Structure 1
Amino acid sequence: MNSQPTLRRRALIAGGVALAAALSDQASKIWALGALDDGQRVPLIGKWISLVLIHNSGAAFSLGSSATWIFTILSVIVLVALVAYVKRGCSAATAAAVGLLGGGAVGNLVDRLIRPPGIGVGHVVDFINYNDYFIGNVADIWIVLAALWLAVIAARTPSPVPQGQATSDPSREPQAPPSVKAGFSSSTLPQDPADEHNA
């Protein structure tokens, strides 16, 4: 069973991982904006992975491109929920995974807050092209890895045993006769004189 660290330690773990994830994402986007032209393709691993700079107004796979502000609000809600989860209590590994998930969310949220065309509706910088299937960024990688990490933690965490099944109910156990409970059997009990006479 995973030990549960103190709130301070959980906050340091989650916050540190989140900060590192968000900074690495933003640093990679700054590099992409300076090194790549819009639509330019730079092959990395054959046809499977290449660099293509785009500005995404939606979510993953460019879904909801006309509702950027909705994803901004959802990102804030998710971050608040993650903070509440860490505060409530979790293992160090879970805190790190939650921090990685939060850092990825922060990385894309920063784009929506500071990038054109405006606050809350900014376009997310995407530049990692996966065989033309979709184009993402480093924040997306952190989010996927965090989700897989949390799934592994959940799969390895034993399910709690209901209290009614953990201990037997004495009232449901078969009760021995009082004589047996006292250490006597029917053969050791004194016989009725009438029974001896009949015998």
Structure 2
Amino acid sequence: MAEAERTIGTPDSAGAEEAAAPAEQPRGRRRIAVLLSVAVVAYLTDLVTKMIVVAKLEHHPPIEIIGEWLRFEAVRNAGAAFGIGEAFTAIFTAIAAAVIVVIIRLARKLYSLPWAVALGLLLGGALGNLTDRIFRAPEAFKGAVVDFIAPAHFAVFNLADTAIVCGGVLIVILSFKGLDPDGTVHKD
């Protein structure tokens, strides 16, 4: 039974936890490395695509990818999803910064690979949009996010938004399955 519990990450008793702690240290570090790797890939992919969009697509007509169903169109979004709350750009900047701090704090207790991927996606996406809010016009900490993926009859978004949504969906799935970030499994 103790082997099965160790395999799924469920602590079996206080004494066994202490004995396993040195072996779990590298495992926890690997999960943090996965979180950071996923975050860096998501962030850099978002950053590069936004640079291309600003250089090649802004002030030009949209590019149709799949007829009228999907096109690339450069849009500056000072608000949140669907352009809501454009007057609250500074608040969205603070929220993104807070999300980043929470993820970094949670990373210390991270022993689950799926949670590392989910949090890495959230971190990379939040950093991508936060970079826009800090460094893009009209002014520092009130910048507009560059969006460019424009499906028909839906909001225009970017790869940072995609990473955030995928990370959020994965977190919901992991929560429904009872898997906690520390690797424990609980049944409600």
> Per the shorter chain, which TM-score range?
0.7 to 0.9
2:146 aligns with one of 112, 125, 144: 125
Aligned mates of 1:7, 1:154 — CA distance in 2: 20
Matches within 5 A, 1:140-151: 140-151=161-172
Q: 1:9 to 1:48 in 2, by over 3 A?
A: same
Residue matched to 2:121: 100
Segments of structure 2 that go 5 or more residues without pairing to the other structure are 1-6, 11-23, 180-184
Give deviations 1:75-131, integer Å, cap 9, x for gaps. 000111111122123401111110111100100000011111111011100111121
Change (3 A) 1:43 1:7: same
Aligned amino acid, residue 3 of structure 1: G
Alignment-mate amino acid for residue 160 of structure 2: A
Corresponding residue number in structure 1 for 2:155:
134
The superposition leaves residues 26-51 of structure 1 with CA deviations (integer Å, 9 ceiling, x where unpaired) of: 00001111111336221111222111
- The equivalent residue for 2:9 is 3
Letter in 1 for 2:147: D
The partner residue of 1:91 within 112, 120, 129 is 112
Query: Corresponding residue for 1:174?
Result: none
Partner of 1:33: 54
Sequence identity of aligned pairs in percent? 32
Residues 161 and 147 of structure 1, relative CA distance in 2, 3 Å threshold: closer
Matched with 1:183 is none
Q: Distance in 2 between matches of 1:146 and 1:103?
A: 10
- The equivalent of 2:88 in structure 1 is 67
d(CA) in 2 for partners of 1:40, 1:20:
29
CA displacement 1:132-165 (0-9 Å, x = unmatched): 4210001111111111112222222366369xxx
**Residues of 2 paired with 1:96 and 1:160: CA distance?**
20
Task: Find the partner of 1:14 among 32, 35, 58.
Answer: 35
Tell me the distance in 2 between the aligned counterparts of 1:58 and 1:121.
Answer: 10
- Aligned mates of 1:41, 1:128 — CA distance in 2: 10
TM-score by length of 1: 0.75
TM-score (norm 2): 0.79
Q: Distance in 2 between matches of 1:107 and 1:161?
A: 35
Aligned residue for 1:120, secondary structure, equals: coil
Trace 1:45-56 onto structure 2 (pairs within 5 A): 45-56=66-77
RMSD: 2.0
Q: Which structure: larger Rg?
A: 1
Code of the residue aligned with 1:89 in structure 2: it is L
Task: Extract unaligned runs of 5+ from structure 1.
Answer: 163-199
Measure the CA separation in 2 of the matches of 1:161 and 1:100.
26
State the one-letter code of the partner of 2:89.
Answer: T
Cα 1:157–1:119, aligned 2, differ >3 Å: closer, same or farther?
Answer: same
Partner of 1:160: 186
